[in-house]
Amino acid sequence: MRCLVLGAAVLAVGAGAAPVFRALDVELPFNARMYPALGRGAPPPEAINNNCLACHSIELVMTQPKLTRPEWTAEVTKMRSTYKAPVDPADDAAIIEWLVAMSAKTTG
Amino acid sequence: MTDRRQFLAAVAGLAASPARAQKTVDLHLPGGPSARPMTTAFPQKAAMILQRTTPPLLETPMAVFDRGIITPNELHYVRWHWSFPTAVDPAAFRLKVGGAVATPLSLSLADLVALPRFEITAVNQCSGNSRGLVQPRVAGAQWGHGAMGNARWTGVRLRDVLDRAGVTPGAVAVRFAGLDTPLVDDAPDFAKSLGVDHARDGEVMLAYAMNGAPLPLLNGFPLRLVVPGWYSTYWVKMVDSIEVLTEADHGYWMAKAYQVPANPTANVAPGTTDFAKQPISRMPPRSFITSMADGARLAFRAALPVGGIAMGGDSGVRGVEISGDGGANWVAAKLGPDAGKYSFRRFDAVVAGVRGPMQLMARARNMAGDVQPMQPNWNPGGYARNVVETIHAALA
């Protein structure tokens, strides 16, 4: 039980004894969700799914406030130029179209 | 329209099935999206607000802060920029100290534990805490107020480690990096630096324990930097490298990221992008009513108890005032025990209850005389928010 292990460690350090460092080997959850289709006639999610799933899961994109086209363009640019994400420049327009369309649906 | 259920299903990675309806929280972010799923899927963590699975961004629910001024380790918020090891062998871990030093060091945890022990209680707060409340809204992690936590940190003074290595005359800064690594070649490895005098001030420390226990992996096991009074971006997790520099750190994470307007309140007119910048640094005072949630509907009470937590930033909490009428009238709150100038401090007061909507506010003043402002600051990073926050409640 994790709680019992932590409780024992609290006593150890609190008493001034040397803390006990146990090796950790944990498993992180994985979110396999892809960026969703937005409906008939809307920009398709293929480009963003091909480029924007390797480094981060989708939640932070999906929880942005309603951003403008220049703001989304700046985000895509930052991912490539600053964070060196291997985004195919040929896909920029399609990624940004999807982001702008997704963002337009944002509601409180 | 992407409705709320579809949205939650998308971010939570679950089928939008009513049979598996999961608990969500509403962060009350103006304009939305405001709902977030709760998660218990992360190792060594209890129920947290899921902001992102990979790399993890986990927010502490506000109700946690009502239970005490110390945030339990399993509820302390989590924020990673890059990938990090999920297995760490403390016996093999080494902290390297190099650069402009007389004697480069490679220290084991046992070596660190053998140094004089130092403890301090300090608030660890993300530079972008409450970014989701900033208006006009800005891009970035859309935190509510829960990207913060308070802990009793145990470890060694950074000064003691630097003095063992012998900082060379002419050193100006000390840079810290951890076991986390970018996923892509050439991307900027996460590293932060402090001025050498700050690094040697006897309070900046290397913590190997948090509230008496080893750090959770997600909070930087086995060792993290603690910079009391400064934002968490400096509190490098899984720190395994200390490099003494003879010139200022021009790396991305100091020179380009985490920049705020170069004025005392980190404030520019909304929409401004061209302004003098400086790296974010010390924290200003903040306070949060935690005895009721924003949007609470409560039974009428003529004498309404209001409590919460305050922090002074880089000096102690001098006082907290409470208003039950949107800031027209204020009463002094009673402060709880003092756990040190960098800690949260409990406050409690009683205001006159009014039937119908009430706007409840807390306003902290620190020992340096800084008071939370009534008007919010704004900057394009959404950093360093410390406006007086409002809890909307309704009494009936």
Residues 137-166 of B with CB under 8 A from A: 137-139, 141-142, 154
Give residue-wise pLDDT tens across range B66-123: 999 999 999 999 999 999 999 999 999 999 999 999 999 999 999 999 999 999 999 9
- Residue B18's pLDDT band (boundaries 50, 70, 90)? very low
Q: Answer whether A27 touches B (CB < 8 Å).
A: yes
Give residue-wise pLDDT tens across range B279-331: 999 999 999 999 999 999 999 999 999 999 999 999 999 999 999 999 999 99
Q: Please give the pLDDT value at position B11.
A: 52
Residue A52 has pLDDT above 90, yes or no: yes
Q: Please give the pLDDT value at position A9.
A: 42
Give me the mean pLDDT over the A95-107 stretch: 94
- Residue A5's pLDDT band (boundaries 50, 70, 90)? very low
Instruction: Report whether B129 contacts B155 (CB < 8 A).
Output: no
Q: Please give the pLDDT value at position B380.
A: 97
Give residue-wise pLDDT tens across range B231-249: 999 999 999 999 999 999 9
Q: Answer whether A1 touches B (CB < 8 Å).
A: no
- Please choose, from the candidates A55, A63, A59, the residue with its C-alpha nearest in 3D space to the C-alpha of residue A87: A55
Residue B17 has pLDDT above 80, yes or no: no
Contact B141 A60 (CB under 8 A): yes
Contact B221 A11 (CB under 8 A): no
Contact A62 B34 (CB under 8 A): no
The chain-wide mean pLDDT, for chain B, equals 95
- Residue B370's pLDDT band (boundaries 50, 70, 90)? very high
- Residue A17's pLDDT band (boundaries 50, 70, 90)? low
Contact A10 B139 (CB under 8 A): no
Instruction: Report whether B298 contacts B281 (CB < 8 A).
Output: no
Give me the mean pLDDT over the A41-67 stretch: 97
Contact A13 B154 (CB under 8 A): yes
Q: Answer whether B54 touches A (CB < 8 Å).
A: yes
Which residues in chain A are closer than 8 Å to B30, comparing Cβ atoms? 108
Q: How much of chain B exceeds pLDDT 90, in percent?
A: 93
**Mutant choice from A2, A5, A13 vs B, greatest count of B C-beta within 10 A:** A13
Residue B5 has pLDDT above 90, yes or no: no
Which residues in chain A are closer than 8 Å to B44, comparing Cβ atoms? 2, 26
Give me the mean pLDDT over the B117-142 stretch: 98
Give me the mean pLDDT over the B35-60 stretch: 98
Give one word for B290, left, alpha or beta, with left for phi > 0 and alpha for psi -120 to 50. alpha
Contact B31 A24 (CB under 8 A): no
Q: Answer whether B353 touches A (CB < 8 Å).
A: no
Residue A4 has pLDDT above 60, yes or no: no
Q: Which segment of A23-27, B3-7, B50-54 scores lowest on mean pLDDT? A: B3-7
Q: How much of chain B exceeds pLDDT 70, in percent?
A: 95
Bigger pLDDT: B177 vs B13: B177
User: 3-class secondary structure for chain B?
Assistant: CCCHHHHHHHHHCCCCCHHHCCCEEECCCCCCCCEEEEECCCCCCCCEEEEECCCCEEECCHHHHHCCCCCCHHHCCEECCCECCCEECCCCCCEEEEECECCCEEECHHHHHCCCCEEEEEEEECCCCCHHHCCCCCCCCCCCCCCEEEEEEEEEEHHHHHHHHCECCCCCEEEEEECCECCCCCCCCCEEEEEHHHHCCCCCEEEEEECCEECCHHHCCCCEEECCCECHHHCCCCEEEEEEECCCCCCHHHHCCCEEECCCCCCCCCCCCCCCEEECCECCCEEEECCCCCCEEECCCCEEEEEEEEECCCCCEEEEEEECECCCCCEECEECCCCCCCCCEEEEEEEECCCEEEEEEEEEEECCCCECCCCCCCCCCCCCCCCCCEEEEEEC
Q: Please give the pLDDT value at position B384.
A: 98
Which residues in chain B are closer than 8 Å to A67, comparing Cβ atoms? 139
Which residues in chain A are closer than 8 Å to B185, comparing Cβ atoms? 84
Contact A105 B1 (CB under 8 A): yes
Give me the mean pLDDT over the A14-35 stretch: 87
> How is residue B213 written in tokens?
């226990």
Which residues in chain A are closer than 8 Å to B2, comparing Cβ atoms? 36, 38, 102, 105-107
Instruction: Report whether A78 contacts B176 (CB < 8 A).
Output: no
Residue B6 has pLDDT above 80, yes or no: no
Q: How much of chain A exceeds pLDDT 70, in percent?
A: 82
Residue A8 has pLDDT above 80, yes or no: no
Contacts of B6-10 with CB under 8 Å at 24 or more apart are B6/A36, B7/A62, B7/B33, B7/B35, B8/B35, B8/B37, B10/A33, B10/A36, B10/A58, B10/A62
Distance CA B178, CA B169 (A): 26
Contact A106 B32 (CB under 8 A): yes
> How is residue B173 written in tokens?
């800064």
Contact A14 B29 (CB under 8 A): no
Instruction: Report whether B280 contacts B260 (CB < 8 A).
Output: yes
Q: Please give the pLDDT value at position B71.
A: 98
Residue B46 has pLDDT above 60, yes or no: yes
The chain-wide mean pLDDT, for chain A, equals 87
Q: Please give the pLDDT value at position B252.
A: 96
